[in-house]
Amino acid sequence: MNENGLRILVTRRWPAAAEHYLAERYDAAFNTEDIPLAQETLSRAFDEYDVICPTVSDKIDAAVIGAAPRRARLLANFGVGFDHIDIKACEKAGVMVTNTPGVLTDATADLAMTLMLMAARRAGEGERELRAGKWTGWRPTHLMGRQLSGKTLGLIGFGRIAQATAKRAHDGFGMNILYYSRSAAPENIERNLSAKRIGSLEELLSASDVISLHVPGGADTQNMIGAPEIAAMKPDSILINTARGGVVDHDALAAALKSGAIRVAGLDVYPEEPKIPEVLTELENVVLLPHLGSATEETREAMGRRAAANVDAFAAGAPLPDRIV
């Protein structure tokens, strides 16, 4: 049923309940093959649909957006991050952009802790050894890792996901919490987490046993963690990234992991997904996951509801609840 005549394109498969919701209310087209759409296809969509619902796998750049007038007036992004969308080009073309904040906080924080545990306990190495039939049995010095309990966790960025990660680390593992952020957290949050704000990135890196990245992607954070920053870390430190792949210089990271300048890393995001830097796949002391941060049934369904709520508001001519531009 599409009483308002609104045409919608959903660029990747969404949870069934979210797709069903949109299909009932709008003239909605779905990418049933669930592979990234070509740039030419995305560009044509701006003339064929009123609303486009992209994901992080869609590169919505200035060439795709084009110049006004285009039919599409809203990009209802399925995800909280939007560095794959050229926001300035959207502003120029008069295209609104929304995202899905808040609903993926717990899932991403859970995954950050998963990566910490896997990296600290060498779980990835152990599973690869076992599956390859190379495990010869228990022995006292086999794949010895480190405990997280009592270690210092340094968080770069201290928004909702970082704070949720800090709570898990502090309450569950007794970790000491440091953070580096442009602004201080409310006093009650610092008190509840026994969190201390550090004035410089270098100071935080040198003081932390585990470093977890929680900053947005974009020009301001591109290669934020490069060779100089890695050199400031402890030799036995663990680097975790569930933010955006471009935040880390992966060549510098691989060099540090090879040389032993840092102990291990755990990554869920990469600069040119789904391509994974080959310099990393060759290493044992890095855990590599395929962008699973929000990949729980509960979270992905909530993301679909949140994106749909922005579409509903647009259709009704109401203020968009999660408007970015």
Q: What is the pTM of this model?
A: 0.96
Judge whether residue 228 has pLDDT over 60: yes
In a domain, 325, yes or no: no
**What CA–CA distance (Å, rounded) separates 241 from 177?**
17
Q: Which residues pair with 238 in a beta bridge?
A: 210, 264
In a domain, 324, yes or no: no
Question: How would residue 313 be classed by pLDDT, with cut points 50, 70 and 90?
Answer: very high
Average of per-residue pLDDT across 188-216: 98
Q: pLDDT digits over 28-64, tens only?
A: 999 999 999 999 999 999 999 999 999 999 999 999 9
Judge whether residue 1 has pLDDT over 80: no
In a domain, 61, yes or no: yes
93 with 127, same domain? no
- Residue 2 has a pLDDT of 64
Question: How would residue 4 be classed by pLDDT, with cut points 50, 70 and 90?
Answer: confident
277 with 301, same domain? no
150 with 267, same domain? yes
Q: CATH number for the domain including 24?
A: 3.40.50.720
User: Which residues are tagged catalytic?
Assistant: 244, 273, 291
Average of per-residue pLDDT across 192-205: 98
Judge whether residue 3 has pLDDT over 90: no
241 with 94, same domain? no
Domain boundaries, position 77: 7-103+297-316
Max CA pair span of the chain: 69
Q: Which residues pair with 7 in a beta bridge?
A: 27
As to burial, measured by CB atoms within 10 angstroms (0-12 exposed, 13-18 middle, 19+ buried), residue 275 is exposed
113 with 261, same domain? yes
Judge whether residue 134 has pLDDT over 80: yes
274 with 198, same domain? yes
Average of per-residue pLDDT across 126-130: 98
Average of per-residue pLDDT across 256-284: 96
Judge whether residue 102 has pLDDT over 60: yes
Q: pLDDT digits over 233-252, tens only?
A: 999 999 999 999 999 999 99
Residue with tokens 């954070």: 221
- Residue 5 has a pLDDT of 87
As to burial, measured by CB atoms within 10 angstroms (0-12 exposed, 13-18 middle, 19+ buried), residue 64 is buried
- From 82, 97, 92, 37, select the one nearest 62 (Cα to Cα): 92
Percent of the chain whose pLDDT exceeds 90 = 98
131 with 183, same domain? yes
In a domain, 307, yes or no: yes
34 with 124, same domain? no
Average of per-residue pLDDT across 97-121: 98
Q: Considering its fold, how many domains does the chain have in total?
A: 2
Helix (H, G, I), strand (E, B) or coil at 311: helix
Average of per-residue pLDDT across 124-138: 98
256 with 138, same domain? yes
> What are the structure tokens assigned to 151, written together?
């270690």
200 with 51, same domain? no
**What CA–CA distance (Å, rounded) separates 79 from 2?**
25
